Structure 1
Amino acid sequence: MARCVTYLVLTSDEVNLRIPYALVCMTRFGAHWETGRRRRRWLEEFTEQERESATRLFNQSHRWLLTTGVPETVRMTVQTFALWMKLGEFCASI
């Protein structure tokens, strides 16, 4: 049986308003990332699958913020959007 996947399609303006990619990038590649407190919370709050998916989002946030900018349209699953939100909340709290 085929599995139906729902995608969100966002414009670059919507991405800039709704996805905290700049915060995620600055936190991930900043000094606060290499602390023991952050590592413990990271392991407690994110599943192994989320941590693996977050690796791709960290690279994407870096690309969007510092290299290419956000494309005109961005397509992602609802789960990816939820992970962006979770990463944003996590990064804002450390």
Structure 2
Amino acid sequence: MSRFHTIQVSIYAYMLKNKSALDIKWAGCYYLRTGEAYYIRITPEELRRVRDLISRVRSQISRFLEDGKFPRKRSILCKWCPFSNVCRR
């Protein structure tokens, strides 16, 4: 599983744990195209890392909002972004 998907699955596990009484030990994703499933162990350390990551990202977004500027990062995903028409080019 890619690092991006590992982080994404960890965030889902963190959010589910915070919204339920479930004791989550494993989380995973299923790739429809390939039919492969990948799982990661959800440890207290992983949950702390995710909590810290969410906190850092929230702080960064708050700073961007205060400054009125979001740095642009061009990628293949731009063509699907609903803000591409207002992005500073």
Per the normalisation by structure 1, the TM-score is 0.32
Higher relative contact order by CA 8 Å / sep ≥ 6: 1 or 2?
1
Query: Whose helix proportion is higher, 1 or 2?
Result: 1
Which structure has the larger Rg? 2
